[in-house]
Amino acid sequence: MNDKAKTASEQPEKHEALVLLKDLVVIIIFFLIFTTFGWSSFHIPSGSMEPTLEVGDRIFVSKLSYGYNRYSVPLDPDFVPEGRLFDDMPERGDVVVFTLPYKGSNDFIKRVIGLPGDTVQVTRGRLFINGEIVPRTYIRDVNYTDYQGADRRAKEYMEELPNGVKHRIYERHDAGPDIIDNTKLFVVPEGHYFMMGDNRDGSADSRYLHDMGFVAHKYLVGRAQITTFSLYDCDQGKDIFCPIGIPLGRFFNVID
């Protein structure tokens, strides 16, 4: 009798374990489908996109925007082709996540400034696209402590790209190193883009031609669309809504 009772009591436990295992498998499959074909979550580790994105922001990136290839899939598997399914091009001004196999397959986030065939140049801190200066409007001076603890002073501008996209930038000064504020004339090759960070004096981007350089279309992961929440350090001193030290001003913001 005891053996029979013991066997009967084990059956519900086995059934519950199988149900739990099936639920976990379904969750994993759904997660893989969601992150491969829908949206992925990324965090912002550096200040190169200030003030649009702050260190500690968590963002959702749409993989639907530019189609799918091997770089849309976690771990960039070799058996997935580089050709894109449902291919589409970014627009000037899009904030884009991309991966660079020649830089350790790390993910980066920058703004699309130059499209294939464009010329891009920075002269005395001012951006020129196809020979025309990109207008900017002064907003304010900003004094803050960056994520590495350094005191920063910058001017905040609203910049308007040739297609009408407006976005904010930081400029510490217009007389920095030539590689930042007095560049050569770049001609964007076919199938590539010229990327820049909105923190113009604090971004290693396509201006560093022998480091990041032009970014190939095949390396695009997706378009950054929204901040979900943030671990931004409210002690940096920026004008961000931070009740009781929680950066609610960084939650659920559309990324322009």
With 0-12 CB in 10 A as exposed, 13-18 as middle and 19+ as buried, what is 145?
middle
Percentages helix, strand, coil for the chain (3-state, rounded to 5) are 25, 35, 45
Tokens of 151: 């005191």
CA distances from 245 to 53, 119, 253 (A): 18, 44, 18
Residues in the chain: 256
Phi, psi of 198 (to 5 degrees): -75, -25
62 is catalytic: no
| N- to C-terminal Cα separation, the chain | 71
Q: Which two tokens stand for residue 206?
A: 């396509």
Does the active-site annotation cover 63? no
Helix, strand or coil, per DSSP, at residue 81: coil
Choosing from 40, 63, 65, 110, the catalytic residue is: 110
Assigned token pair, 249:
């001003």
Find out whether 175 and 124 touch, Cβ atoms under 8 Å: yes
> Which residues are catalytic, by number?
48, 110
